[in-house]
Amino acid sequence: MSNEHIVAGFDQDLAKIKAQVLSMGEAVNQQIQKATEALANFDAEAVDLLITTDRRINGMHKDIHSRAESLIARRQPMALDLRQALAPVNIAGELERIGDHAKSTAKRSRKLVDGPSGVAAMDIIAEMSTLTQSMLRQVLSAYDNVDIDLAAEIRDRDQKVDKLNKALFKLALDAIATAPDKAEAFIHTILLARTFERVGDHVVNIARHVHQIATGEDLKASE
């Protein structure tokens, strides 16, 4: 939409909220990165800091929600404008859930001070983390530029995350069968992979919101 609003205030208010969402997204991405680092090299202080940061992220979510609510109440946007005004609420909600997953990953690292069981498992977890972080950065860019092609690409990339989750599940099951004494650690590993799989799903949900802003329609599932 190249045409400008007659009332510039709407664009200015929306730009501020969008900047907050992008900043929240960046903070959440750092949380995933730090939580993954804590898995590889347990650091009690870093985990405590991460939990504190999650509260700040929850505060950002509430602030975005209340600003979007105020924008809608005051400007009464319609059509594309309404979708743009609602998107921050939905996207910040997804980011808040990703933040929670980062927190739960960090908390689980307390139970896995030696890292997830087995080098192969840790490699898969690390790959899932790297992939979801990359997808999250991409989806924030897609939101910033209302890029629906990039949104579709992110949806497709999530299939790789799902495959890694399944691969880890199989690996952990086999490991439990051969070394039942390590079952607890491997179950934690399964749950970690599940967490990153959920992060991927939230990122795809954000991609769907981006598609919805631009088109007013749902983004179809991958072929």
Interacting residues with other proteins (CB under 8 A): 1, 3-7, 10, 76-82, 216-217
Separation in Å, CA 146 to CA 93, 152, 158, 214: 18, 12, 19, 7
Residue 94: count other Cβ atoms within 10 Å of its Cβ.
24
Give whichever of 1 and 113 is closer to other proteins, judged by the CB atom: 1
- Among 56, 157, 139, smallest CA distance to 90 is for 139
In the complex, what is the shortest distance from the CB of residue 8 to other proteins, in angstroms, rounded to a whole number?
11
In the complex, what is the shortest distance from the CB of residue 198 to other proteins, in angstroms, rounded to a whole number?
30
Give whichever of 85 and 175 is closer to other proteins, judged by the CB atom: 85
In the complex, what is the shortest distance from the CB of residue 20 to other proteins, in angstroms, rounded to a whole number?
22
Handedness of CA 209, 222, 169, 26 (dihedral sign): negative
CA 91, chain centre distance (Å): 9
Give whichever of 83 and 107 is closer to other proteins, judged by the CB atom: 83
Answer whether 84's CB lies under 8 Å from 213's CB. yes
Collect all residues with Cβ–Cβ distance below 8 Å to 123 and sequence separation of at least 6: none
In the complex, what is the shortest distance from the CB of residue 41 to other proteins, in angstroms, rounded to a whole number?
50
In the complex, what is the shortest distance from the CB of residue 10 to other proteins, in angstroms, rounded to a whole number?
8
Give whichever of 59 and 216 is closer to other proteins, judged by the CB atom: 216
Answer whether 101's CB lies under 8 Å from 198's CB. yes
Give whichever of 8 and 221 is closer to other proteins, judged by the CB atom: 8
